[in-house]
Amino acid sequence: MKILQLNKPLAPISFDALRLQADRIRHASVGDAVYLRGVIEFSNFCRCNCLYCGLRKDNALLQRYRLNEQGVMAAAKEAARAGVDTIVLQSGEDPAYRKRLVARIVSRIKDETGLAVTLSLGVRSTATYQLWRRAGADRYLLKHESADAGLYAALHPGGGLDDRIDAIKRLQDAGFAVGTGFIVGLPGQNDAVLMQDIMLTQALQVEMCGVGPFIPQHNTPLAGEQAGSVGKTLKIIAYLRSHIPRLNIPATTALASLSPEYGQEMALKAGANVIMPNFTPEKHRAKYRIYDGKVRVSMADAYAAIDKTRPLRKSAEERPACNSALHIFPNAPAAYWADVAKGGAQ
Ligand code: SAH
């Protein structure tokens, strides 16, 4: 794989040195655990028109769907059985999915699975955020997407960076642990903008930051643009880890989509410590088409990527006994550990 060089000041050291430094900082500051957060994409209706996103309102060719309460609960229970530590509910900005229904689903997931709940439902009113927090939601993902106000405005008709940042602050005030994030390789972006993205992430004092490459979707205005680079995305992940040591950083699905074999493994080796396997019901999965070629990251894919990275599990001899390794994947199901003990799990 070709690793693109960032211009100074983002590239004072080689990618290899940077990645190794990030890996050491990750180990020392957040440890070897890889958190598995199960994502359920429960509606692809969206009132926004973000130029890069396949869910945009003007994409008349996308078949729309909404899971009902029963559908979301079934997917959440499946994810819990598979051993995730958090349920992430994501959708387009879909106000027709009533806020009280979301609140009820959140409290049911908390009661019936005991897991943490993360929401990723876009910009909403403070009262709505407070309602969901009271219902028990622990965290909220709202990426700032791009820290350059001009680029942000060009890509988000009717929306401004200030409103997005304001929503992130309102979420923090409501008591959520908040995750931000940004896209690497957006048309019109340069390395100075990526530097601003890292600095804004630090200034926001968030708990998590997801970084993924831009991937064109064929029914959007950016259909003909080039995808972002895997190498540059990995480099940004390594910079983020080095710069903000305690941040949670996912190995994103967008990375896995551009590089199914190595994307997530490389991210885990460059500072990432979270994987978000997908539990959207199979019937609807392909319709949550934010970009083309989006792969499904399964639990098996997540374990396979982790298996290739964490030093404790380098070889059969070095594999720890079942119980002593539980801290690495806190909620891995017993069946998985039985396989590990036999030396067979992938
Ligand atoms: N409606 C929610 C969830 C959006 S989808 C919200 O507004 O937060 C989740 C993420 O997908 C977005 O935050 C964006 O960063 C990413 N995304 C959308 N289209 C993309 C594309 N074409 N390439 C890469 N990432 C994309």
Mind listing the pLDDT tens digit for each residue in 133-162? 999 999 999 999 999 999 999 999 999 999
- Tell which one of 132, 156, 163, 183 to mutate to probe ligand 1, the residue whose CB is within 8 A of the most ligand atoms: 183
- Tell which one of 143, 165, 211 to mutate to probe ligand 1, the residue whose CB is within 8 A of the most ligand atoms: 143
**pLDDT bucket at 217, cuts 50 / 70 / 90:** very high
Amino acid at 111: D
Q: Would the CB of 93 count as within 6 Å of ligand 1?
A: yes
**Residue 142 Cα to ligand 1 middle (Å):** 9
**Residue 123 Cα to ligand 1 middle (Å):** 13
Residue closest by Cα to atom 4 of ligand 1: 92
The structure tokens 């602050």 sit at: 169
- What does the alpha-carbon distance between residue 120 and residue 293 come to, in Å, rounded to a whole number? 21
**Which tokens hold the place of 68?**
């009902």
What are the sequence ranges of the domains in the chain?
15-309
**Residue 161 Cα to ligand 1 middle (Å):** 15
- Tell which one of 49, 52, 66 to mutate to probe ligand 1, the residue whose CB is within 8 A of the most ligand atoms: 52
Least-confidence region, from 41-55, 116-130, 283-297, 314-328: 314-328
**272 within 8 A of 251, measured Cβ to Cβ:** yes
Burial of 10 (0-12, 13-18, 19+ CB in 10 A): middle
User: What's the angle, vertex CA 178, arms to CA 177 and CA 182, rounded to 5?
Assistant: 160
The structure tokens 């879909």 sit at: 94
* Mean pLDDT (the chain, rounded): 88
**pLDDT bucket at 310, cuts 50 / 70 / 90:** confident
Strand ranges in the chain using DSSP code E only, listed in sequence order: 35-43, 86-91, 116-120, 139-141, 177-184, 208-213, 274-275
- What does the alpha-carbon distance between residue 129 and residue 135 come to, in Å, rounded to a whole number? 10
pLDDT for residue 321: 35
Count other C-beta atoms under 10 Å from residue 116's C-beta.
19
Q: Would the CB of 258 count as within 6 Å of ligand 1?
A: no
**35 within 8 A of 273, measured Cβ to Cβ:** yes
Q: Would the CB of 184 count as within 6 Å of ligand 1?
A: no
**Residue 134 Cα to ligand 1 middle (Å):** 26
Nearest to 290 by CA among 265, 335, 329, 257: 257
pLDDT for 249 beyond 90:
yes
Q: Would the CB of 186 count as within 6 Å of ligand 1?
A: no
Domain range 15-309, CATH class: alpha beta
Rounded to two decimals, what is the model's pTM?
0.89
- What does the alpha-carbon distance between residue 195 and residue 103 come to, in Å, rounded to a whole number? 37
